[in-house]
Structure 1
Amino acid sequence: MKEGIHPNYRDVCFVDLSNGFKFVTRSCANTKEMIDMEDGRKLPLFKLDTSSESHPFYTGTQKSVDSMGGRVEKFRNRFGRTTAK
């Protein structure tokens, strides 16, 4: 392989800032901070706003647009199909 043309591919610790969830994977992400892991390794640290542990889609707290209904659907549910006398 040629020297100097490949990115720095290494183990990186990703931390979810919303709940403190950590996971280690290989990445080329540029980092400026380091973290000491429980196993004694010192890894580059990449901070995330959300991960699969905190994102509403993956945690099951996301509301579906289909089940919420729109303005027309709300009107029909409220005033729909009254019987004529």
Structure 2
Amino acid sequence: MRKNIHPNYRTVAFHDTRMDTYFLIGSTVATSQTVEHEGKEYPYMAIDVSSASHPFYTGEQRTHDGEGRIAQFRRRYRQSKPSESK
């Protein structure tokens, strides 16, 4: 293998911020933050979704309690009836 062309492979602490869960996984992700986990310091990467929080893995169904985009558009930009001119 050629030297100095491969990324640095190391154990990284991925933090699922939604569930406050840590995963220690070998990765080449570049990060400048570190975190101490179980008495050892690891490079740190915050993530929004993991197997601990994704509905496919947890079996939870989440519903959207809002109106759709078209309904929002119509509500926001609805025009009052034009006044009749004589």
Q: TM-score range by the shorter chain?
A: 0.5 to 0.7
TM-score (normalised: structure 2) = 0.66
Which consecutive unaligned segments of at least 5 residues does structure 2 have? 63-86
> In 2, Cα distance between the equivalents of 1:41 and 1:3?
29
1:75 is matched with none
- Residue type of the partner of 2:55? P
Structure 1 runs (4+) greater than 4 angstroms displaced: none
> In 1, Cα distance between the equivalents of 2:40 and 2:22?
14
The within-5 A match list for 1:6-85 is: 6-38=6-38, 40-62=39-61
SS of the residue 2:60 aligns to: coil
> In 1, Cα distance between the equivalents of 2:19 and 2:32?
21
Deviation at 1:62, TM superposition (A): 3.0
Deviation at 1:56, TM superposition (A): 0.7
Deviation at 1:3, TM superposition (A): 1.9
Higher helix share: 1
SS of the residue 2:12 aligns to: strand
**What is the number of residues matched between the two proteins?**
62
- Residue type of the partner of 2:24? V
2:82 is matched with none
User: What's the C-alpha RMSD, in Å, of the aligned pairs?
Assistant: 1.3
- Residue type of the partner of 1:62? Q
Same amino acid, percent of matched pairs: 44
TM-score (normalised: structure 1) = 0.67
